[in-house]
Structure 1
Amino acid sequence: MKKVIVSLAVALLTQPLLADEGMWLLPLLKQQKFDEMKALGLELEAKDIYSPDSSSLKDAVVIFGGGCTGEMISPEGLLITNHHCGYGQIQQHSSVEHDYLTDGFWAMSREQELPNPGLTVTFIDAIDDVTDYVKEDLKSDTDPNSMKFLSASYLNSLAEKKVGAEFLKNNPGTAVEIKPFFGGNKYYMFTKKIFSDVRLVGAPPSSIGKFGADTDNWVWPRHTGDFSLFRVYADANGNP
């Protein structure tokens, strides 16, 4: 009987497992996975997830600082991110008299929110296929060993050339970047809005926000209040 159970367990464990994964590009959502997502119960439309011309989920998910993720959770610019993502800012504002890392911090008014020079929040405004534009420019590169087609400095200079210096001058806080995909077979230009007035609103004590430290960070379920709150400030038109 034991042999039968073991044999059955081995057979089940060796069955092929299908992982529905890969690189899903937002502009190609309809061509890639959208029908499957709808079949699985998605109620949103593709334009609700990504639309370069109107509000969509792309406007709610941001790049916090140098690479963390943040989410906009109110029309008043309130942003939530991980506690460890805001840890540097919480630490920067802490002192012997005000140990925010140990005690936590909560701004009870806009005036009590703490500014963070150097901290940025980046929104992706649009993602455009510029493959033909880049490949046309690359025709002049005749070196068979050249890695120019993957060079960040080259691609970003092309991005700035495409939109023009006047556009960037008239839209402060806007930046453009071209990135290669699929080994340089496709190129997409990302138009970004970068906000630099980002203020600390609240954070729990580290005993809550960092409970379990890195050990618990890789397991599930977790028992930690791993969050911090910031507010992004913009001009009257919602621009940086």
Structure 2
Amino acid sequence: MQLRLSYNTRKEKPLDASEPKILIVDDARDIREPLGQYLHKQGFRTELAANAGEARRIIEEANLALIVLDVMMPGEDGLSLCRWLVGRGGPPVILLTAMADETDRIVGLELGADDYVVKPFNPRELLARIRAVLRRAPPPEPKVPTGRARIAGWTHDPTTHRLVHQDGRDIELTTGESRLLAVLADHPNTVLNRDRLLDLTVGRDAKAYDRAIDNTVSRLRRKIEEDPKVPKLIVTEWGGGYRLAADVEAE
């Protein structure tokens, strides 16, 4: 089946990193690529996978809001992958099923899929179902890096919330300070705005607010900067956010 959407290879303008990311898993290139471009134009970031193996690698690395998953694929099928996804706690799944495969739709819903769309489908219908599932789905927990990292003479261990300098200084961080530093270290020399930092450190918690990021940055600076009033490690990008101005080496 071919998805009837205009498709070209022109590079799309990148979306903001705070936009929801959707994984499309389908072995049919003429479905997954036009669908990926269509969802991109609707304001979603997209990842594409041709089989369950590619999908598993992306799922382990990316912070996904939702997965559009074809049931009939060579090798591991979509129902098996759906079972694995539900067993590990998400993200939400919308199944793509053939019109005649009513049993697959029932089994998929029993496994825990959030919805299904029958092929051939109207992409606008799929878009409406994606938005409906996202509205009722709880926000995903942020994936904060857990590996030790060397940052400008400091070694940060996110699991113990400790920061040790090569000169012997040993500093205990709060959980919030440690999570923020881990996220900054995972994006060295990259400007992250306050909304993005909130997403990556605490998720879309209704109690969180952007000044919480400013306050945490201020506390971190007092602990690690030589002169907190003139920071050289965690620098402010006016109108943008914050940037870790250092190379990072993973231990």
TM-score range, shorter chain: under 0.3
Instruction: Please report the TM-score for the alignment, with normalisation by the length of structure 2.
Output: 0.24
Instruction: Kindly name which structure, 1 or 2, has the bigger radius of gyration based on alpha carbons.
Output: 1
Instruction: Please report the TM-score for the alignment, with normalisation by the length of structure 1.
Output: 0.24
- Work out which structure has the larger RCO, using CA pairs closer than 8 Å and 6 or more positions apart in sequence: 1
